[in-house]
Amino acid sequence: MNTLHTIAQLRAALARARQDGKRIGLVPTMGNLHAGHVTLVNKARQRTDFVVVSIFVNPLQFGAGEDLESYPRTLEEDQRKVLDAGGDLVFAPNVKEIYPEGMGGHTRISVPVVSEGLCGASRPGHFEGVATVVCKLLNIVQPDLAVFGQKDYQQLAVIRKMAHDLCLPVLVMGEPTVRAEDGLALSSRNGYLSAEQRRTAPVLFEILQQVAKSVKDGERDYPVLIEAARQRLADSGLRADYLDLRDALTLNPVDADTRDMVILAAAYLGNTRLIDNLLFDLH
């Protein structure tokens, strides 16, 4: 697999691709690729002619006490998966390449409103780190299309707003969450779960489905519905970080006129933080 580690090398390769008239696709990742990532590469392959997969564990989006040092780094296996999925190039820079003067004085991008609450409340500074590194990658690669998974729904909303507000000439595409057969959303952090925890984990998505069904069936006392769902999480052994019902288009709280909805949740199973969401509508 053609793997480059510097911005200069990458830009030279991309210049050659553009000279050949190729449309560029980008799939930003932190590595430890799974079937969900492969789906994103496949989608980029369908829509563009030259697919770059970036692999960079971004320290700027990790808070104190989070799993930056223990986050899985599996570059050799990732390269094989990118090749099998039809990717053309892996961009795997080190921290010095992305933050040559360090992170302390580095320009940062803040995306207001949409980054607040939910994961933004639980992980202060996280979305600032995400927006900063994604903006850098979009400027480095200058793709026609960038593909992200919808499992990180708030993150996708942050990236879309950033690209729109900064007039970045890229189409940001979201792909539906890829799940295991039992419904658990695929995530690199699922590898932290013990065998017993892995058997319990699918209850998170089951509860989201129950909430969506209740709303579709006419339930409109949303606070009571959400509190009952949080209690079901606790009864199943998961500690809710948040569980909330939002407008799927704006991430504002739902009201009587909301028709496109998303139920979003994050919960701890042991020390592992799982996130998930479910889109539905009342049309």
CA dist., res. 219 & res. 196, Å (int): 33
DSSP letter string, the chain: --EE-SHHHHHHHHHHHHHTTPPEEEEEE-S---HHHHHHHHHHHHH-SEEEEEE---GGG--TTSSTTTS---HHHHHHHHHHHT--EEE---HHHH-TT-STT------TTTTSSTHHHHSTTHHHHHHHHHHHHHHHH--SEEEEETTSHHHHHHHHHHHHHTT-S-EEEEEPPPB-TTSPBP-GGGGGS-HHHHHHTTHHHHHHHHHHHHHHTT---HHHHHHHHHHHHHHTT-EEEEEEEEETTT-PBP-TT--EEEEEEEEEETTEEEEEEEEEE--
Catalytic residue among 5, 34, 37, 283: 37
Taken in order 181, 186, 188, 192, is the CA torsion positive or negative?
negative
Would you call 283 a catalytic residue per the annotation? no
Which residues carry out catalysis? 37
